[in-house]
Structure 1
Amino acid sequence: MSRYYVGVDVGTASVRAALVTRDGHVTHTAEEPVNIWEPCADHYEQSSEDIWSKCCRTVKRVTQDIDVESVRGIGFDATCSLVALDRHFQPVAVNHTGVRERNVLMWMDHRAAEQASRITATKHRVLQGVGGVMSPEMQPPKLLWLKENLRETCWKEAAHFFDLPDFLSWKATGSLCRSLCTLVCKWTYSPSDGWDDSFWSAIGLEDLMENSYSKIGQQACCPGAPVGRGLTAAAAADLGLIQGTAVGASLIDAHAGGLGLMGADVTGHHLPCEHRPVSSRMALICGTSSCHMAVSTQPLFVPGVWGPYLSAMLPGLWLNEGGQSATGRLVEHVVRGHAAYRQLEEQAERRCVSVYSYLNAHLEGMSADAAQLEQLTARLHVWPDFHGNRSPLADQTARGAVVGLTLSQTLDDLALLYLATIQAIALGTRHIIDAMRAAGHDITTLFLCGGLSKNALFVQTHANTTGDCTHKRPEQPWQNCMLIYPGFELSWKPRFI
C-alpha cells in the first residue's frame, strides 16, 4: 500500500492542504478562504471554529481519492495568531462587542502597540532575544491588551491562550503540549530555562504564572515531534481520517516555509550554497507579510531582528528572523486603491491574466528594454512601512510615504507606483540582509517561497537589489540567486544597468 502524508497550511486569508507521497511528491492540493473581520483600524480578528472547519474541508478534498488508511501522518502550520478559549475549550470573544465566534487576534493585529512599547521600556533581559524591541505582533502585548481592555470578559473567562498552530495540534490530538517554534519565537519561552517569572511580573501579567502557566503552556516539544496519541476520534471524524493517525508538533507558517527552503536539495544547480552549510542560506517567505530566516551554529544578536532562537526551526541551530509587516498586503493596497484600478481590471480580464501579470507586461512596454525598466521610477519613491517597520528598524510607529506623485492618475501611473512599491520592498530585504551580515551571518544565497515568489517582477527586483553586495565581502563575491520553490526551475541572477 502507498504511504501518504497530509500537510495543512493556515495562512492569513486561506487554508491550504496537500497530499504528499513518501518521497515528497505532491499529488493533490486544495484551498479554502477563511474569514477576517476588521472592526476598526489595526484590529484584525478571525474565528478558530471557521479555521478548523476549513482545515477539515481541505483535508477531505485532498484525500477523497485514496484509502485514508494509507495516510501515515498529518502536520499543521499556521500564522502566529492568538486564540482564546474558556475552561470548556469554547471560544472567548477578543472584542468589545462580545462576539464569541471572533476569538482570534490575528498576527497582524496592532491594537497592542502601546502595550508593546511599555514592554520594550522595561528593558527586561528576555528582550535581547527579540532584537531589543517587543513587537505588537507577538503574544505578550496582545495578552496585556486583553487584560487591560477586556478584564471582565475575555480575561476573566479565558482558561487557555494558544498560538494558532498549537490550537490546531490540540484540536487534532487533545494534547496541550506546545511547539517550541511558537513558544520561543512569539512568547519569550526559553528551551533551557522555561518561562521567566520576572518578565511576566514586570509587565503586569503575573496572573499567567498561576498553576504553572497552565493558560499559556506547561509542556513543550520540538517541531515535528509526535503529539499525543495521534488524532482523536472526534478529530479523525472531522478530517475524514483514521483515529490514531500520527500528528506532528506544529510550526508557524513562515517557519514551515523556511524549513522547506533550508533543507532543499540544490545539487547540480551551481549555487554558491551547494557545498556550504545550511547557515549560508536565507529563506524569504513572502506572502501577506514577509519573513527572512537565517540560522547559525552560535547565537548572533542582530539589533531590530528577532532571535536568536534555539531549535525553533532546526534542532540545535539558532534562528534569526527578520521581516516586513506588509508586503503582499501592501502591493494589493497600493494597486487596488488607485484611481485606475478599474481600468486595470478590465484590461486584465480581456487578456485573461491576473492584474499583476498585466502590470508586469505593461511595464515592459513602457521601457525601452528590460535592463531599463528599473529606471522608470527614477522620480518616484515609496517608503513601504505602511504597517510599521518590523525589522531592522523595529519601529511599530513608522508609517509609509510616497514621494514624486503628480496630478495624473492613468494606468501608466498605477504601473509606476506598483513598480516603486516592489522596489521599496526589495530594498527593505536588502536592509535586513545587510544588518544580519553585519552581525556575523554569512549569507550567500536567497531562497523565495510564498505567493509573491510567483511574481517574476518581484523576484527579479529582489535579485537586482540584493545582488550587488560584493563590497561587503570582496574576498567572497556575492552571487545572489533567486529560486522559486519547489522545483528550482528558475534561477534569477542580478541584472544591472
Structure 2
Amino acid sequence: MNLFVATFDVGTTSLKAVLVSRDGTLLHPLTEAIDTWSGNDGAVEQDPDQWYRLFTGVAQTWWRLGIDPASIQMIAMTGQMQNLIALDLEDAPVGRAMLYSDMRASKESDAVNQRFGKAALQASVGNPVTAGSLLPKLMFLREHELERLARTRRVLFGAKDYLVHRLCGRSVCDWTTASTTGLLVTRERVWHDALLDSFGFAAALMPELSAADAIVGGVHDEAALATGFRSGTPVLCGVGDAAATALGAGVSGTHRPYVYVGTTGWVAQLVDAAGPQRPVADTVFTLSSWEPDALIRIAPVLNAGNVLAWALTLIGHQPGVDPERYFDLLEAEAGQSLDQSNGPTFVPFISPERCPVHTLSAHGAFIGISSQTTRSQMLRSILEGLAQSLRWCGDLLGVSPGGEMTAIGGATRNTIFTQAMANAFGKTLHVKPNADYLAAVGVARLAARVLGWNEAETRLSARGDRGYQERIVAPDPQRAAFLHRRLKHFQHVATTITSFPEEDPLE
C-alpha cells in the first residue's frame, strides 16, 4: 500500500491540498475557494468553520478517488498568519476570524505604542505593532464587540491552527506565526504576559507555543467521523505560510532573497540569527523560521496578485470567468509597449498597504497620463509599478542589485510581469514551478523529516533545484537601468500620494 502525508494550505483566497507519497510524488491536488467578507471600515474576515468544511470536503474527495485512510501517515498544514480567531468555552468560533489584512484597529495600535514606546516595544517583540497586530485587534473587539469578546475563552492566530484544533483539540501556535502577532518576546520565545496584562487580557487566552515539526496530537474520534481520517492519525503543528513557501521552493542558505507574489506577497530572505542585525524599517518584519539558527526578514505586501487581477478587468475579465485567456491578452497588449520612457508611473496601492509604506486606505494612482497615452502603456505601467514597489521592499531589506533571486507564487506565471521584476531588481530570477502548491510541499518536507522519509524529503527539496522545470529570467540591461533611474521618482510619487489624509477632514 502506498503511504502518504496529507498536506493542506489555508491561503487568503483558497484552501489547497495535495497528497505526498513516500517517494515524493504529488497526487490528487485540490483547490477550494474561500469566501472573504470586506467592509468599507477596513474589515477583512473569513469564517473558520468554512475552512473546516472545505478541509472535510477535500478529504471526502480523496476517499471517493480510492485513497485508503489507513495510508495517511500524517496530516501537515500551513496557512495564512496573524489572524484573530476567537473560540468560546465549547471551542466554537465566536464570529468570523479577523484576517491579517484587517486594518480597523489603527487607534488601538497607536494606544499600545504610546503606552510602551514604539521603539522599546519593537525591540521586545521584534516587530512593529500595527493595526494588523493581535493585541490591537483584541482591544478593537473590547471597544466595538464587547459581547463577542466576553464569550471568548481562547484565541488562535493561524488558519491552520484552527484546523489542528478541530482535528485533535489542541490550541497551538508555531514560532513563525507567533512572531507575526506582536505578542511574542522574541529572545525568550514566550508570550508577552506583561503586555497582555497591561491592557487587561489574561495570558490564559493564548495558545500553546510549539515547534513546527512537533506532533501535537492525533485525530480524535469526533473529527475522524466527520472527515474520514482514521482516529489517531498524527497531526503536525505545521508552520505559517511564509516559512512553508520558502521550504517548498527549496530556499536555503542565509541572505539569498526571494519574492513571493500570490494574492498578497512578500520579499524576504533568511538571515543568521546569531549574526549582526542591521536596522530595519517599521514596515519590515523579522520572523522565527523553521530552523533555530535562522530568522526570516520579510517585507509583506497586501497589493500583489490582486493588482494583476484588477488589470485583467481593464481588458474585459469578469468574475467567475476563467482568467487564463485574459492573462494571455494582458501579456500580448502590455508587450506592445516595449519603450515605456514616456509612459505613466503607476502606484499599485489599490487597497491598504503594509510595505513599502503603511496605509490604512487605497492610494492607487496613474501619474503622467497625456493625450498620447495608450491602454498598452497603462497596462505595462501597472506591471512595472508593482515590480518597482516590490523592489522598494527589497531595498528596505538591504537587497542590492545584481546576482540571483528566487521568484515564487501564482503571479509569476505572467512572463511580462516576471521580466518587469527581473528588470526592477536587476537580478536573474529563478522562477519556481508548481507555484500553487509550494507551501504545501514545504510543510510536507517537515513531515517527511519527522517520518524519516529521506527519499521524499530529497525529492521535494529537488523541486527547488535548477533543472526541475525552473524558468530563468535575466534582466534586460537597458530596461533595468531605466527602472533603476526611475525608482527615486516612483518612491517620491508614492510617498507624496500616501501622505494625503486617510480621511476627508471636511466629513
CA distance in 2, matches of 1:11, 1:309: 18
Structure 2 equivalent of residue 448 of structure 1: 407
CA distance in 1, matches of 2:179, 2:401: 24
Structure 1 equivalent of residue 256 of structure 2: 281
Contact map agreement 2:9 2:160 (CA 8 A) in 1? no
Q: Which has the higher contact order (CA 8 A, sep 6+)?
A: 2
Which amino acid is 1:111 matched to? R
Q: Which runs of 5+ in 1 are unaligned?
A: 94-102, 265-276, 368-372, 468-478
Which amino acid is 2:151 matched to? E
Which amino acid is 1:74 matched to? I
**1:199 is aligned to 2:180:** no
Contact map agreement 1:279 1:295 (CA 8 A) in 2? yes
Q: Deviations over 1:49-92 (max 9, x none)?
A: 11110111123324532222111111111212221121111221
Structure 1 equivalent of residue 107 of structure 2: 114
Equivalent pairs counted in the alignment come to 435
Which amino acid is 2:68 matched to? D
**1:159 is aligned to 2:159:** no
Give the aligned CA root-mean-square deviation in angstroms. 2.8
Change (3 A) 1:244 1:283: farther
**Superposed displacement of residue 443, structure 1:** 9.3
**1:142 is aligned to 2:142:** no
**Equivalent residue runs for 1:41-56 within 5 Å:** 41-56=41-56
What SS is found at the alignment partner of 1:73?
strand
Task: Give the TM-score normalised by structure 1.
Answer: 0.80
CA distance in 2, matches of 1:53, 1:214: 28
**Superposed displacement of residue 15, structure 1:** 0.9
Task: Give the TM-score normalised by structure 2.
Answer: 0.78
CA distance in 2, matches of 1:302, 1:295: 14
**Superposed displacement of residue 393, structure 1:** 3.6
Same amino acid, percent of matched pairs: 21
**Superposed displacement of residue 47, structure 1:** 0.8
**Equivalent residue runs for 1:86-485 within 5 Å:** 86-93=88-95, 103-121=96-114, 122-123=117-118, 125-128=120-123, 133-151=128-146, 153-163=147-157, 164-190=159-185, 192-202=188-198, 204=199, 206-207=200-201, 210=202, 213-217=203-207, 219-228=208-217, 230-261=218-249, 263=250, 278-297=253-272, 298=275, 300=277, 301-310=279-288, 312-336=289-313, 338=314, 341-342=315-316, 353-364=324-335, 366-367=336-337, 373=338, 375-376=339-340, 378-396=342-360, 399-405=363-369, 413=375, 415-437=376-398, 444-467=403-426, 480-485=428-433
**Superposed displacement of residue 399, structure 1:** 2.5
**Superposed displacement of residue 17, structure 1:** 0.6
Structure 1 equivalent of residue 2 of structure 2: 2
Q: Deviations over 1:356-395 (max 9, x none)?
A: 221101223x24xxxxx2x336331111223344234445
What SS is found at the alignment partner of 2:293?
coil
**Superposed displacement of residue 493, structure 1:** 1.0
**Superposed displacement of residue 295, structure 1:** 1.3
Change (3 A) 1:260 1:200: same
CA distance in 2, matches of 1:465, 1:79: 27
Change (3 A) 1:427 1:39: closer
**Superposed displacement of residue 334, structure 1:** 4.4
Which amino acid is 1:248 matched to? L
CA distance in 1, matches of 2:9, 2:32: 11
Q: Which runs of 5+ in 2 are unaligned?
A: 435-467, 479-507
CA distance in 2, matches of 1:18, 1:84: 28
**Superposed displacement of residue 174, structure 1:** 0.7
**Superposed displacement of residue 353, structure 1:** 4.3
Contact map agreement 1:289 1:327 (CA 8 A) in 2? yes
Which amino acid is 2:219 matched to? L
Which amino acid is 2:191 matched to? W
Q: Deviations over 1:131-171 (max 9, x none)?
A: 763232232221121111112x1111111211122212111
